[in-house]
Structure formats: structure tokens, C-alpha cells
Amino acid sequence: MHAMVSDPNLPLVRRLEAVGFRAWPASNVVYDGSWQVRLTGGHPGKRLNCIVPLDPSDSRDIALRIEKAGKRFAAHGRPLLVRETPLSPKPLIDFLAADGWERFEEVLTMTADLGVMTFPDTLDHLPTQDIGRYVDADIAVHGSDPALKPALAEIITGIKPPSGLFVIEDPAEGPLAASLCVQDNDLAGILSLAVRPDRRRQGLGIEILSSALRWARMRGARTAWLQVVAENAEALALYDKMGFVHAYRYAYWRKSAP
């Protein structure tokens, strides 16, 4: 039940994990051995607030290290989460399962070859330089809490690699779709792509995705990557259509309520 995909390409996993951290930077990162402990005071996002083990052989003192991390998370007012990837030590996952933790939210990491990708004939959107406009659009299309605006703006301002902020707006209706594309040398990450719920299935997802990927390819990116919740059939259909293939899965663990 806890098995990840068989024999994922570990060098690729390491590379995509590293670009993922740069593309969505936590405000506070410390290392405990090879475990990355990520915390972000202003934003509750799981990717920004979790332990991410990065070496399958680093499994010493598990109970002690989990307890120590738990205190750090409690001090930030965050629940302790462990993100399980193919790089996670098996003894750690066994410990969590035996200690009454539950595994939840499986996410697929997918990649696509930009060199061979063909784009549909949709309207091309250029990225905006206006972080405030992008953040407002992201919050609107996701239906997020507007109180998260300063934290989201801080995360996006903190992204070191070149970023394209894509928004599709209607003068009367406001933001309809938003996506962030982070170009890290030859890799381009698609993050936070969303279409407003009442405007889905109208081609806006493929329009904004194509715009972001065209921008990245023009800038020299060769491979695109993204992360999508395994249950999101609509998004998976879109990404399949654009030529994305499965690279590896990850999931989260949390302590079950007593």
C-alpha cells in the first residue's frame, strides 16, 4: 500500500526535487542530516511546511529527529508533515506507519519534452511583470483566502530563477486563469495552474499552459515538469494531451488524531 512507483529514475527525482525547492521557496529551511525541514510562517501550503528526506540511506535516530522537528513545527504553529518521495528512507516510512501516522494526498510529478511538443492554435499570452496583479488572479481563480496575498507575493518575489507570471482576464469578469512558469536552466516548472471553476472545459487551461510552455521553450528550456494531485482527472487529461509523462509520485504523512 505504501509502495511508490517501481524503480523511479533517482537522479531525475533528485534533480526535479531540487528545482522544485527553488521554484517554490520556503521562507525557513534547515537540514537535519539529509532531511530538509521546510517552514513558511505566512503560508500554510504543504510543500512549504514539511520534512523532505533526500537520501534513502539516512535513517538513523528516526524517533528523535521526528520529535525534534515536531517542536520546530509547533513553534511555527504548523502541523508536522513528512513528504514521502522515492528518496525517503524505507525505515522512516515504516516508522510512520507503525507510529499511527496516515498517508494522504498522492501527487504525480510529470515531465514533457519541449523540443517535440506541438502547441494548439490558441491565443498566446505574454507574462505580466506585475506580481500584485498575478497574485490577485491566482487567489481569485483558486478561491483562496485573500489574507494570503502578502505571503504569496513574498514567495513569488523569493523565486530566484526567471519566472513567467501568466494571467487570462476578462474585462467584465476579472481573472479567469493563472499559471506560474519557473525556468531553471533547461527545466521549466509549471506551478499553480488554475482555471476559475465556472470557466473550466472552455480551453482556457490549454491556452494558459501553452503560453507558459512557449515562453519557456523560447528562453531555452528543453524539459517541462509539473506536479498534479493524482485524483485530478481533468488536469491529468490536459497534461496527457500535451505530452506529459509520469516521472514519480510523492505523498504526505501526518499524525492521525488520537
Residues 133 and 189 in one domain: yes
Q: Which three cell numbers stand for residue 79?
A: 502541523
Please name which of 34, 7, 20 lies closest in space to residue 227, comparing C-alpha atoms: 20
Q: Within this chain, do residues 92 and 174 fall inside the same structural domain, yes or no?
A: no
CA-CA distance, 157 to 160, in Å (whole number)?
8
Q: Looking at the structure, do residues 129 and 177 belong to the same domain, yes or no? A: yes
In a domain, 183, yes or no: yes
* Same domain membership, residue 139 and residue 181: yes
Burial status of residue 57 (CB atoms within 10 A of its CB: 0-12, 13-18, 19 or more): exposed
Here the CATH number for the domain that contains residue 52 is 3.40.630.30
Per-residue tens of pLDDT for the chain, all 258 residues: 344 445 779 999 999 999 999 999 999 999 999 999 999 988 999 999 999 999 999 999 999 999 999 999 999 999 999 999 999 999 999 999 999 999 999 999 999 999 999 998 888 899 999 999 999 999 999 999 999 999 999 999 999 999 999 999 999 999 999 999 999 999 999 999 999 999 888 999 999 999 999 999 999 999 999 999 999 998 999 999 999 999 999 999 999 776
**How many domains are there within the chain?**
2
Determine, yes or no, domain membership for 239. no
Is residue 91 a part of any domain in this protein? Answer: yes
Give a yes or no: residue 234 inside a domain.
Answer: no
Verify that 194 and 159 share a domain, yes or no: yes
Task: With respect to residue 1, please indicate whether it lies within any of the assigned structural domains.
Answer: no
4 contacts 84 by C-beta, under 8 angstroms = yes
Whether residue 150 is found in the same domain as residue 75 = no
Query: Is residue 233 a part of any domain in this protein?
Result: no
Three-class secondary structure of residue 48 per DSSP:
helix
Which residues span the domain enclosing 158? 115-221
Contact partners, residue 26, CB within 8 Å, separation at least 6: 38, 39, 40, 47, 48, 49
d(CA 168, CA 159): 22
How far apart, in whole angstroms, are the C-alpha atoms of residue 48 and residue 71? Answer: 17
